[in-house]
Amino acid sequence: MDSIDGKVAIITGSSRGIGRATAIRLARSGAKVVINSRHSMEELNYTLEEIRKTGAECISVMADVSSRDGCRLIVDRALAEFGSLDILVNNVGLGLYKPFMDIDDAMIDKQLNSTLKSAIICSQEAARRMASGCIINVASLAGALPIRGLSIYGAAKAGLILITRSLALELAPNIRVNGVAPTVVKTRMGESLLKVTGTNENDWAKRNSLYGSLIDPADVAEAIFFLITVTSMNGQTMVIDGGQSVLGGFTA
């Protein structure tokens, strides 16, 4: 198991949810953390304060990582502040619920750019500057099992699962690439999905989990930490679903 003490980690989309939990988890293990948001300065500052409570070094970067300039900016800031880059967590994603036949071009582009394109571009920009290290892609169970109303989101997450394997092949041996695929997580995005589908947390969890509760962001962060530190893991996507796939998939 590899130590991350003193390693430099970028976590995109880390103003809340899985990104915030991951940034705090890595900071507690001694990483120097670069956090990011596109537009939520208040939430990003809250994450920054929580990380500073751990005693870790941290900087925040406002940037749209669905653009080349945004990805380049966050990598440049990491290198300027800390001198190296060891870990990239591609966490940014956007899940907009709508029946497939009602989705317009703008929604298609918005979801693909945020969820898939951002990971592709940030991985390119980071890998060019990393001597060694690892990349973690935050995918979703929706990338392996279909869910009504999330067809484009699911397609983008399925792309992340495949590109995880492709990048592991192309970037070896110096850079490892793995992913996590959680089901509905207790975050703002997860809660909005339950709301739009007209179900509550307890009922959904009873139908879709073997232990009857939603996934906590801290559990996903712990899985990401595992994939960063266990150097024999490469090209894999770890499912975190509370047994939902055993039950047969998504039940509204």
Distance of alpha carbon 144 from alpha carbon 133, whole angstroms: 27
- 217 prior amide bond cis, ω within 30: no
Distance of alpha carbon 84 from alpha carbon 100, whole angstroms: 43
- CA-nearest of 197, 187, 154, 243 to 20 is 187
State the number of CA atoms in the 13 A half-sphere of 28 facing the CB. Answer: 11
Which SS3 state, helix, strand or coil, does residue 62 take? strand
**211 carries an active-site annotation:** no
Residues with catalytic roles = 153
